[in-house]
């Protein structure tokens, strides 16, 4: 699904029903990116937070535009203010005849599904597969990718070798702090961060009461996030879908504040797990069984 790059993060188009699912958005590929060799940068936002999605972003442009792109002063999104990030993101529209972008948002529900299922699908594997998926999408669109720079997930060298095996005709460089070293990765960092911030800001509860003001950054150590988590837990159902149930922070809160359930000895839900009659099981444990059997599919993929 292709959307205008400005309309996407800076309006309320990202509404709650869609945010329960994974989605892929991308700009139109500039004609020059189809005709000339391109450089591509990839980075993510939201790997560590307990709230909201993990968003992967990629930014690409022809090698002939490299020096001009550097003059735009993109940088690691973590070093920039929200206002500065949004100003830089608008430049993608200004230079749409040269620069393209793509983002893949992984919802909290999907992350929880992967992390809580019987055969755990961890964040590193998610990162690797999401990166490959975005590159493949751009290849399918006809973008002439020659070099790819990626912010590291795990050991840089082994990740670089693995990516090379997936795309033998593309040159890869995986590096720590790549978002500070390579302009294309800085651009990707801006994409991912602006989109993630927009998702959190536009998340509303069912009664149309905005909760974004008190969510905080979503990181477990953030006082605003800690306060929101403590006040928002339901003793039976847990949390809104904005929460990643697979994080230990949530597990601890549910154990402390959730209602314990005493299950009779029987096969657990859908036969996933056998529970002893004396075991106390939190609602989060019950979710583990559910997530093993139901996959949340992307709404736009």
Per-residue pLDDT of the chain (301 residues; tens, 9 = 90+): 333 433 444 433 444 446 677 888 889 999 999 999 999 999 999 999 998 899 999 999 999 999 999 999 887 777 888 888 988 999 998 999 999 999 999 999 899 989 888 888 889 899 999 999 999 999 999 999 999 999 987 789 999 999 999 999 999 999 999 988 999 999 999 999 999 888 877 775 443 445 555 777 888 899 988 888 888 888 888 888 889 989 989 989 988 888 887 766 655 555 555 444 444 444 444 444 434 433 333 333 3
Q: What pLDDT, on the 0 to 100 scale, is given for residue 293? A: 38
Same domain, 170 and 228: no
Q: Does residue 136 belong to any structural domain of this protein?
A: yes
Buried/exposed 258-270: b ≥16 CB within 10 Å, e otherwise: beeeebeeeebbe
- Cα 272 to Cα 276: distance, rounded to the nearest angstrom: 13
Final residue before a domain boundary, out of 201, 236, 251 = 201
Residue 43 labeled ligand binder: yes
Same domain, 52 and 157: yes
Same domain, 59 and 128: yes
Same domain, 145 and 11: yes
Same domain, 146 and 165: yes
Q: Does residue 179 belong to any structural domain of this protein?
A: yes
Backbone angles phi, psi at 148, to 5 degrees: -125, 130
What pTM value is reported for the model? 0.79
Same domain, 181 and 268: no
Q: What pLDDT, on the 0 to 100 scale, is given for residue 185? A: 96
Same domain, 231 and 183: no
Tally of domains within the chain: 2
**What does each C-alpha distance from 82 to 7, 79, 200, 217 come to in angstroms?**
17, 10, 13, 12
Residue 267 labeled ligand binder: no
Confirm if 60 and 138 have CB atoms less than 8 A apart: yes
Structure-token pair, residue 299:
């709404």
Same domain, 135 and 275: no
Same domain, 128 and 169: yes
- Return the closest-CA partner of residue 101 out of 22, 199, 4: 4
Final residue before a domain boundary, out of 201, 226, 259 = 201
Q: Does residue 2 belong to any structural domain of this protein?
A: no
Q: What pLDDT, on the 0 to 100 scale, is given for residue 68? A: 94
Is the Cα torsion angle 236, 237, 238, 244 positive or negative in sign? Answer: positive
- Return the closest-CA partner of residue 94 out of 10, 166, 30: 30
Same domain, 151 and 109: yes
Residue 151 labeled ligand binder: yes
148 beta partners: 40, 172
How many helical (H) and strand (E) elements, i.e. helices and strands, does the chain have?
13, 10
**What does each C-alpha distance from 204 to 147, 215, 216, 230 come to in angstroms?**
40, 11, 14, 18
Under 8 Å CB-to-CB from 37, ≥6 apart: which residues? 62, 63, 144, 145, 146, 147
Q: What pLDDT, on the 0 to 100 scale, is given for residue 66? A: 94
Q: How many CA atoms lie within 13 A of 169 on its CB side?
A: 8
Do strands 100-106 and 54-62 pair parallel, antiparallel, or not at all (unpaired)? antiparallel
Q: Does residue 298 belong to any structural domain of this protein?
A: no
Same domain, 218 and 184: no
Same domain, 126 and 231: no
**Residue 222 lies in domain:** 212-293
> Looking at beta carbons, which pairs linking 45-48 to residues 24 or more positions away fall under 8 Å?
45/77, 45/189, 45/192, 45/193, 45/195, 45/196, 46/192, 46/196, 46/218, 47/123, 47/127, 48/219
């Amino acid at each position: 699904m292709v959307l205008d790059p400005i309309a996407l993060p800076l309006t309320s188009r990202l509404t709650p029903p869609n945010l329960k699912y994974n989605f892929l958005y991308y700009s139109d590929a500039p004609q020059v990116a189809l005709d000339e060799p391109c450089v591509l940068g990839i980075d993510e936002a939201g790997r560590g937070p307990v709230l909201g999605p993990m968003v992967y972003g990629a930014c690409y442009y022809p090698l002939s535009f490299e020096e001009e792109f550097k003059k735009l002063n993109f940088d690691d999104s973590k070093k920039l203010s929200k206002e500065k990030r949004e100003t830089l993101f608008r430049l993608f529209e200004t230079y749409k005849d040269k620069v393209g972008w793509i983002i893949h948002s992984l919802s909290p529900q999907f992350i929880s599904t992967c992390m809580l299922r019987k055969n755990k699908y961890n964040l590193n594997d998610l990162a690797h597969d999401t990166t490959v998926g975005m590159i493949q999408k751009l290849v399918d669109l006809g973008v002439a990718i020659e070099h790819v720079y990626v912010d590291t997930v795990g050991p840089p060298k082994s990740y670089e070798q693995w990516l090379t095996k997936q795309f033998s005709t593309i040159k890869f460089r995986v590096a720590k702090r790549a978002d500070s070293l390579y302009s294309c990765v800085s651009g990707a960092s801006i994409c991912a961060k602006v989109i993630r911030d927009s998702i959190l800001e536009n998340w509303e509860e069912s009664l149309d009461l905005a909760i974004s003001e008190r969510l905080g950054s979503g990181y477990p150590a953030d006082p605003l996030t800690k306060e929101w988590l403590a006040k928002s837990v339901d003793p039976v159902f847990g949390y809104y879908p904005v929460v990643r149930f697979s994080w230990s922070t949530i597990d601890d809160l549910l154990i402390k504040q959730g209602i314990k359930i005493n299950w009779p000895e029987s096969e657990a839900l859908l036969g996933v797990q056998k529970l002893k009659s004396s075991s106390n099981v939190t609602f989060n444990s019950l979710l583990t069984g559910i997530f093993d059997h139901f996959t949340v599919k992307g709404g736009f993929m």
